[in-house]
Amino acid sequence: MTLFGYKLPGMSSLLLWGLLWEIIGQTGYTFFVPPLSEVFATLFEIIGTPAFLKAMSETAYAFFAGVFFAITIGIPTGIMMGKNRLLDELLLPWVNIFLSAPLTALVPVLMVLFGFGMKSIIITTTLFAIWIIILNARAGVMQINRSLIEMGRSFGATPLDAFYKIYFWAALPEILGGVRIGIIRAVKGVIIGQLLISIVGFGALFELYSSNFLMSHFWAVLIVLFAMAFTISELLAYLERRVSYYAAKR
Amino acid sequence: MVMSQTKSSLGHAQPVGIESAVSVRNVSKNYDKVEALKDLSLEFPRGELTSLLGPSGCGKTTLLKIIAGLLEPTSGEIEVNGVKVTGPGPDRAFVFQDFALLPWANVIRNVSFGLELRGVAKSEREDIAEKYIRNVGLAGFEKSYPHELSGGMRQRVGLARALSVDAQVLLLDEPFSAVDEQTRRKFQEDLLALVQNENKTFIFVTHSIEEAVYVSDQIAILLPRPSRVSEIIRPSSFRGKGVDNIRRDPEYLDIVDEIWASLRSYVE
């Protein structure tokens, strides 16, 4: 966007909203919104503390484990659904149901099945991320040009070769899009898991700070979380742009 | 040149003295209740270019894909060099109408992809690919990606890929229909040179009468619903006269007219 002939850098609207936040905070209108400057001061204060680092590593562990399973199970499942009519008919209704279902309501069931530990949190994270990854991988495979499939067959590709030399790459733009959205959903999943299943990680910090009305602490953790999710999402958006040169011409 | 190790399929309807590389025997293909091909038999002489020509919907691409092993015939059989076709095989290579290149791979990887699938080592397959990239006139574009090339250049990549696996039979499915008219003429001339130099059998699907007559040693006219071979034409006099003279040769013009006369009633 350009303003008065100057090209504004991306995300410059955040500055405007940050300023608004600061002004509202300074007026002391409500204790829920402390000034942004105070939030950042708190952020730098707590970011090196053992409690914060422990929370961050617990959250990161559950998050990355959950995303790992969502990707390694989701992509092959989606590709197989796209290639196999029977499997597709069997699984598609479930994928669609879980994609739109309020997964939070399922968390108590997971607690009964898998206990109150890290395992349930990881599974919750996976469940939040996996469905959109499956659907996108499936859509990616289904749009593969028919003649590309015939090309593989006519030059004697084994099913394994066809899978990782043709289908995977041909579906990669859609797969990356699904992973990016899945990861954003995984952030939601890991926090909900940590709030509902066992009070650990960032979930525990949210719980602790909000019940003690430590609002600047609360916002500080939220900003860290947002920054992490945003960074990962931008990284994937960058990867998507790397493959976009062929996405339009398959 | 006549290959000695292959069983010739003499005794079938074919021009005297020429051995068949591909034989199509009593092939039928039904899609549900629709008969796409009915009891179709055809011989493809070795080392020659045979065109399958007919109005759209006459099943010429279906026949080509059955020969390629990409489609199963409902009945009947195909023999390539005396061996029955049960699926795709290394004795045949396909050139696709829409090129079917890997858009994420550069020219040299695309050209060597057939060899890659056959497990040929990287340095060896790239040497072979480079040779055919030069042959089709794409030297200097080895590292380019398909989206950086024109339609004509992309089809040259598809052609080089089919040539580099060194199959005896090349199957071309309307290979020039997606390129512009001038590129197309150049392609046709190059194809004639290729047929002369490569000693392979070419099966060429086209809907252009002029193109078929220009490049073919033998033209099979297919008529639709259900598809059958109505006529086989073998131009004789203008083949040796050089590419510049073909289009004004009387026989060329007569054959083009004759084919149009027989196809006219099938074109709506």
A43/A30 Cα distance (integer angstroms): 20
**CB nearest to B117's CB, from A148, A155, A250:** A155
Query: Could you report the per-residue pLDDT of B167-216, keeping only the tens digit for each?
Result: 889 999 988 887 888 888 888 888 888 888 888 899 999 888 888 888 88
Q: Is the pLDDT of residue B110 over 90?
A: yes
Give the pLDDT of residue B16.
54
| Closest chain A residue to the Cα of B98, Cα to Cα | A147
- B175 vs B96, B154, B172, B183, B206, CA distance in Å? 6, 11, 6, 12, 8
Residues of A in contact with B116 (CB under 8 A): 165
A245 and B145: CB-CB below 8 Å? yes
CATH number of A34-249: 1.10.3720.10
User: How close is the nearest chain B Cα to the Cα of A73, in Å?
Assistant: 25
Of the two residues B246 and B268, the one the predictor is more confident about is: B246
Give the count of Cβ contacts less than 8 A between chain A and B: 62
Taking the CA atoms of A36, A42, A48 and A52 in sequence, report the sign of the dihedral they define. Answer: negative
Residue B257: pLDDT band (50, 70, 90) is confident
A79 burial via Cβ count (<10 Å: 0-12, 13-18, 19+):
buried
User: How close is the nearest chain A Cα to the Cα of B260, in Å?
Assistant: 30
The answer to whether residue A163 neighbours chain B at the CB level (below 8 Å) is: no
Locate the domains of chain A by residue range. Answer: 34-249
The answer to whether residue B69 neighbours chain A at the CB level (below 8 Å) is: yes
The answer to whether residue A151 neighbours chain B at the CB level (below 8 Å) is: yes
**CB nearest to B94's CB, from A145, A154, A245:** A154
Contact of B221 with B51, CB cutoff 8 Å = no
Residue B17: pLDDT band (50, 70, 90) is low
Q: Is the pLDDT of residue B15 over 60?
A: no
Q: What pTM does this model have?
A: 0.76
Beta bridge partners of B169: B92, B201
In a mutational test of the B interface, the residue from A149, A153, A154 whose CB has the highest number of chain B CBs within 10 Å is A154
Average pLDDT of span B22-51: 86
Backbone φ, ψ for residue A118 (5° rounding): -60, -35
pLDDT over 70, % of chain B: 93
User: How close is the nearest chain B Cα to the Cα of A249, in Å?
Assistant: 7
Query: Could you report the per-residue pLDDT of B116-154, keeping only the tens digit for each?
Result: 988 888 898 999 988 889 888 888 898 888 888 888 888
The answer to whether residue A142 neighbours chain B at the CB level (below 8 Å) is: no
Question: Tens-digit pLDDT profile for chain A (250 aa)?
Answer: 677 777 777 677 888 888 998 888 888 777 788 888 888 888 888 888 888 888 888 888 999 999 999 999 999 999 989 988 899 999 999 999 988 888 888 888 888 888 888 888 999 999 999 999 999 999 999 988 888 989 999 998 888 888 889 988 988 889 999 999 999 899 889 888 888 887 788 888 888 888 888 888 888 888 888 888 888 888 888 888 887 777 666 5
ipTM over 0.85: no
